[in-house]
Amino acid sequence: MKRRGLLIAPVLAPVLAPLTGLLSGSLPGLAAAAPADLAQAVRERLRQPEWLRGEFTQTKKVTGFAKPLLSRGDFVLARGRGVLWRTVKPFASELRLTRDEIRATQGGQTAMRLEAAREPVVRVINSLMFSLLNGDVSGLGELFELDGAVKGAGWQLALTPKPGALRQVLRKVDLEGDSFVRRIQLFEANGDESLIELANLRPDVAPEPGLFQ
């Protein structure tokens, strides 16, 4: 009787899709695991502490820009809680991904907010973000075909999105690391590229409990 509003939905799908492209194909438990030995080898090399802190350098090549865009900052990764992404240079801004929302703030003011209760895709975005930074092989295996190699303490993964909406946004992801993820390279379908390098990684022994509330 009163559900006239529902076809508003289709419009949001293509809009939210570029966010992560995670509108489909992300069924937990249904995806085949990565080749078992590769996944196992990567898993053996990784330390995945409950709290992880580190610094990042992001180099983004965007069509329409002659020079790459460089930014630096630090981040906090808390298993089961979320991700805090704090850009320091060229200017300060914060991005916080928790179970229930994605929130961007600048100078204490909210610039953008997406709630999981309204946009279920928020959870998927957050778990992708977490899996990439943490090197969660089984989480990634649900979304991507995994390929790669192991060499000494180090490892490399080439991630190709499984068929579905993710492919319309993301062409490929390269991941490199040892006991932590060190390097993430994103190749977007529209030609943009981002290289994220992580440094000074350290498990946090004195976490801030209120960080993701």
**Is 114 strand, coil or helix?**
strand
d(CA 80, CA 91): 29
**Minimum CB distance to another protein smaller for 38 or for 82:** 82
Output the smallest distance, CB 85 to another protein, in A: 6
**Minimum CB distance to another protein smaller for 92 or for 149:** 92
Binding site for another protein (CB under 8 A): 1-16, 18-20, 23-25, 27-30, 58, 60, 62-67, 69, 71, 85, 87, 90-91, 93, 95, 97, 100, 102, 104, 106-107, 111-112, 114, 116-121, 123, 125, 129, 164, 190, 194, 196
**Minimum CB distance to another protein smaller for 56 or for 155:** 56
Distance, CA of 178 to chain centre: 18
Output the smallest distance, CB 47 to another protein, in A: 23
* Cβ-defined contacts of 202-207 (< 8 Å, 24+): 202/52, 202/53, 202/54, 203/47, 203/49, 203/50, 203/51, 203/52, 203/53, 204/49, 204/51, 204/52, 204/53, 204/76, 205/51, 207/50, 207/51, 207/78
**Minimum CB distance to another protein smaller for 45 or for 72:** 72
**Minimum CB distance to another protein smaller for 24 or for 179:** 24
Q: Is-cis flag, bond preceding 90, omega within 30?
A: yes
Output the smallest distance, CB 33 to another protein, in A: 17
Output the smallest distance, CB 24 to another protein, in A: 4
